[in-house]
Amino acid sequence: MEEIKIFCPATIANVSCGFDVLGVALDNVGDTMVVRKTSEKGIRITKLEGQDLPMETERNVAGVAGLALLEKGDYEGGFEIEIHKKIKAGSGIGSSAASSTGAVWAMNELLGRPFSTLELVQFSMEGERLASGVAHADNVAPALFGGFTLVRSYAPLDIIPIHTPSELYATVIHPQIEVKTSDSRKILKTNITLADGIKQWGNVGGLIAGLFTEDYDLIGRSLVDHIVEPIRSILIPGFDQVKSEALNAGALGCGISGSGPSIFAFSKGEAMANEVAAAMKNVYKNIGIDYDVHVSKINREGIKTLQ
């Protein structure tokens, strides 16, 4: 195989209670990439549509992740990468993770899968380091593994795939304002109270239990963030109202997607997820902020080959 065309899913990181450790992949929101082998060494970004992002290899997350893979392998040639971005940079649904994971996943396919999924996570994290200054894994892990993933530990890196209930749908609304991941990390406090920590790990435990037992009510009760949401939500106009309207409409839970400004809600079933989308939209219509809305089943397989 000399060329591959793939779908790279958008992802929701943190998932309310799981700051820096939890993430989940979406099914019909994502980028398309074409990656092909070249005899020339190195990585070249030959096309980048849909977003105004750097095309130089060392300044592009897909380029940097790809170089990390090339360094570890014994492949003598190189790759060309075309990126057709549908996920907006800075939207909070893993735009950089889609590109970095897509690059290394595709390269691994073209090379006959010499690397494990965990190694692909590590290569992709170099893209995240370029994008945000921190090599986090909470977006790249679900993009590569599919479904929900837990980053149990960073040193050593330990990624745990979590069972994904079949009727779980996500609604994501992206208000058209920009919040940089690096800025939204700066406003976080470096200390938290032990009391808030206890609440947070209680909810992480509840969410994981709810996912394994497909207990949608427990999933909803556990989607509470005592640490990050109270601080970051200040950067997102209308957040409290969007959240309360989503919950009123029947969402299981609602929170900030990644570092924002996108807001996600989970629902049981597609019909409810659409109702929640309508309720969330109304808030931004009334405030007068433009938005994109996505309704998606949870993606269980991660990056997919397209014909």
Binding site for its own copies (CB under 8 A): 17-22, 150-153, 158, 160, 162-163, 188-195, 197-209, 212-213, 218, 221-222, 227
Contact 298, 277 (CB under 8 A): no
Q: Which of 101, 181, 245, 275 is catalytic?
A: 181
Closest separation in Å from C-beta 6 to its own copies:
28
The single residue listed with the structure tokens 């406003």 is: 187
Closest separation in Å from C-beta 88 to its own copies:
27
Based on CB atoms, which residue is closest to its own copies, 199 or 300?
199
User: CA 227 to CA 62: how far, in whole Å?
Assistant: 31
Based on CB atoms, which residue is closest to its own copies, 150 or 252?
150
C-alpha 42: how far from chain center: 27
User: Is 181 annotated in the active site?
Assistant: yes
User: CA 190 to CA 239: how far, in whole Å?
Assistant: 23
**Mutual orientation of helices 95-110 and 61-72 as an angle, nearest 10°?**
30
Q: Which of 128, 229, 245, 275 is catalytic?
A: 128
User: Is 128 annotated in the active site?
Assistant: yes
User: Vertex 11, ends 5 and 15: CA angle to 5°?
Assistant: 165
Look at residue 236 and give its three-state secondary structure: coil
Based on CB atoms, which residue is closest to its own copies, 1 or 188?
188
Based on CB atoms, which residue is closest to its own copies, 16 or 91?
16
Closest separation in Å from C-beta 82 to its own copies:
36
Closest separation in Å from C-beta 194 to its own copies:
5
User: CA 84 to CA 150: how far, in whole Å?
Assistant: 28
User: CA 3 to CA 36: how far, in whole Å?
Assistant: 4
Give the residue numbers annotated as catalytic, written as ranges. Answer: 128, 181
